[in-house]
Amino acid sequence: MAVNPNPRKTDPDGSRSFELKAASFTLPIIRLLDANVEAVAARLGAKVEKAPDFFRNTPVVIDLSDLPSGVGAIEFPLLVGLLRGYGMIPFGVRGGNREQNAAAEALELAVLRESYVRRGKSANETSTKEIDMEVSPTPPREAASSTPAPPARRPGQGFMLINRPVRSGQRVYASGGDLSIVAAVSSGAELMADGNIHVYGPLRGRALAGMNGNLEARIFCQDLQAELVSIAGHYRVSEGIPTELRGVPVQIFLDQKILRIEKL
């Protein structure tokens, strides 16, 4: 019997449609030192602002191995939505306990062995450089501004109303409820809400609704000029927003996990 010296998979007509191979890569990691996602957002936002192009469409691994002992569940929907909102692609987790890994798998994140994310490269191996982006609980020092930031969101309030402009560099997070802005939102500002976001004025900057994984959340605005919009981690950047939907009243929502933008 003749033995094919080439073991590559062939289709019945003799052509090859694909090859399945094993390969080794190193990936950037987000090394969490605190389970407070709001603290992570504050520190990570400062890092992304320094080099936004570096993080765009970058696959990252969430490293949980340095979290304090006794830390329970991680708010993965919020964390994944945060990373996607900054343009990153959460790929998987490592170093978590059984409960954390199960929560990650529920969001279709890979659970990686410690050896998967490797340092260095061998002579015969193509690899990217691993970058530790340690995210600590200490927020960066805010730059001085003559305009005070909007009030901090307190859990349990359920609804948050801002009646003055949200300026560049300011961040508003409505935890556990909806957020309404009765003013303009400047480029470089960031709106975050577990529920819906309503903007009765020009919406520039970033708007991320459904931060707790709420797929029913929506964004409503009178004048869409946003740099990024996101619902439950599903996002679209300004380049992906059609011209006819910019500068007009719209609603933004998920339809079968596909982000839709429609005129009001």
Q: Which residues of the chain have pLDDT under 50?
A: 1-2, 116-133, 136-157
- Residues 35 and 108 placed together within one structural domain of the fold: yes
CB 218 within 8 Å of CB 235: no
Q: What is the pLDDT of residue 25?
A: 62
- Which burial class, exposed, middle or buried, applies to 47 when counting CB atoms under 10 A from its CB (0-12, 13-18, 19+)? middle
Q: What is the pTM of this model?
A: 0.48
- Residues 45 and 122 placed together within one structural domain of the fold: yes
Other beta carbons within 10 Å of 91: 19
- Residues 119 and 194 placed together within one structural domain of the fold: no
Distance between CA atoms of 31 and 67, rounded to whole angstroms?
9
Q: What is the pLDDT of residue 244?
A: 94
- Residues 104 and 179 placed together within one structural domain of the fold: no
Residue ranges making up the domain that contains 207: 159-263
Domain presence at residue 14: no
Distance between CA atoms of 76 and 72, rounded to whole angstroms?
12
* Domain total in the chain: 2
Q: What is the pLDDT of residue 24?
A: 58
Dmax (CA) of the chain: 84
Domain presence at residue 172: yes
Of the three residues 133, 167, 184, the one that is the final residue of a domain is: 133
226: closest CA among 211, 241, 243, 209? 241
- Residues 123 and 170 placed together within one structural domain of the fold: no
